[in-house]
Amino acid sequence: MNSDRLHADLAAILVSMGPVAVAVSGGVDSLTLAAEAHDVFGSQFVAFHAVSPAVPPKATERVELLAAERGWPLRVVDAGEFSNESYLANQVNRCYHCKSSLYDRIAAATDLQIVSGANTDDLSDFRPGLAAADEHGVRHPFVEAGLGKTAIRAIARHLGLGAVAELPAAPCLSSRLETGITVTPTRLRFIDDVEEFAKELLSPRTVRCRVFMERIEIQLDAATLERVRGSETLVGELRSFVAARQDRAVRFASYRMGSSVVHVNG
């Protein structure tokens, strides 16, 4: 994969848009897009990062650190989704309400073209937030350039983003709640605590703490799951950590993307 060519293609797309406002979540996609926008526009671009109970604190720390190191103009905002009852109800279109709130806040703060880190790999997934983006005139440079996650990681390396290029996918914490379970800061804090504990204990490639109606499910990549199931000590430590915070059964399972969403077609 020719990172120079990928970088040039993405830069050309951004130039055609003029200076942009990048919605930066703290994952590899949006951080790479912000780095590219800064490379193209310098201080004329603006990075917008929303803070809320649904955003892991480490994601915010990552954004603020990179912005300081690289001199990005950064605006930290409260997207306001926690005042939206439709978002809190956590139906299958929860992401639509979240992104609508976010883009409303960004649009109120800038006249620049708003862009997101959505990429071609996202188009095959259930993403109601893309409908909110369409309604707000948000553009997706990676999609327009025909770039998926592998290409984005190559661009991140080209731009010298170091460990950011290897970050695993990390949707917002609300995505771990089974459809219909009300979104609350307490539940999201629990999810983040469990995942951070699992990362420290196991160093997994992937971990999700899913909250279902009847159980807590800790989903792991295949190699880590095999290691956990083969160790009574690891199982005990994870179960004890959860039990101190939630009175629900704990199950260990393979990571399944989007498995907290139910009745997508119902």
DSSP reduced 3-state for 80:
coil
Does the pLDDT value for residue 264 go beyond 60?
A: no
List, in order, residues 6 or more apart from 20 with CB less than 8 Å away.
14, 37, 41, 45, 112, 113, 114, 115
Confidence category of residue 6, pLDDT binned at 50, 70, 90: confident
Does the pLDDT value for residue 266 go beyond 60?
A: no
Q: Which domains does the chain have, with CATH numbers?
A: 3-166 (3.40.50.620), 173-254 (3.30.300.20)
Closest to 73 measured CA to CA, from 47, 110, 49: 47
Confidence category of residue 163, pLDDT binned at 50, 70, 90: very high
Q: Residue 265: what pLDDT? A: 38
Mean local confidence (pLDDT), 51-80: 95
Does the pLDDT value for residue 47 go beyond 90?
A: yes
Does the pLDDT value for residue 216 go beyond 70?
A: yes
Q: Residue 169: what pLDDT? A: 83
**Rounded CA separation 30/19 (Å):** 16
Q: Residue 262: what pLDDT? A: 64
Mean local confidence (pLDDT), 223-236: 97
